[in-house]
Amino acid sequence: MLTQEQLAKLQAIIDERHEALELEIHRDAARSRDEPYSLLAGSVPDSGDSASADLISDLDNAELSRDLQEFRALEGAQDRLARGGYGSCVDCGGDIAFERLLAQPAALRCFECQKGYEKTHAQTPKPTL
């Protein structure tokens, strides 16, 4: 079980990360609005430039969707902290090590279950919700 002190520390990490991600997501969303495709591609309509503009925009989207995924995971962690159940593995119900939570405060599984989960789910695409 986590001590009150450990929980307080994790809560602070989660809140800080959550806030930073929120800013980052807003900034990224604003940037994709402010820089339409034509600006990214530059003034010279050459096929090489458009290809790299596509690539940049794909990379931005990938980063944004990673941020959103982490953001939602952190909200889940805040919810579990508020309602109880934070720090328990969703698969085996055991305690998730404090060190693991420090590194990944939104972790849902203990190290052993996560290993098993990644093994069975490695080939299937991640659900979007």
Contact set with Zn ion (CB under 5 A): 89, 91-92, 94, 110, 113
Q: How far is the CB of 102 from Zn ion (least distance, A)?
A: 17
Q: How far is the CB of 69 from Zn ion (least distance, A)?
A: 21
Q: How far is the CB of 85 from Zn ion (least distance, A)?
A: 13
Greatest alpha-carbon pair distance for the chain in Å reads 61
Nearer CB in complex with Zn ion: 64/89: 89
Nearer CB in complex with Zn ion: 24/91: 91
Nearer CB in complex with Zn ion: 77/110: 110
- Give residues with Cβ within 8 angstroms of 90, minimum separation 6: 108, 109, 113
Backbone angles phi, psi at 74, to 5 degrees: -70, -35
Backbone angles phi, psi at 88, to 5 degrees: -105, 140
Q: How far is the CB of 62 from Zn ion (least distance, A)?
A: 29
| 15 to 7, 11, 19, 74, 75: CA distances (angstroms) | 12, 6, 6, 8, 9
Nearer CB in complex with Zn ion: 10/113: 113
Helices 4-34 & 47-83 angle (0-180, nearest 10)? 150
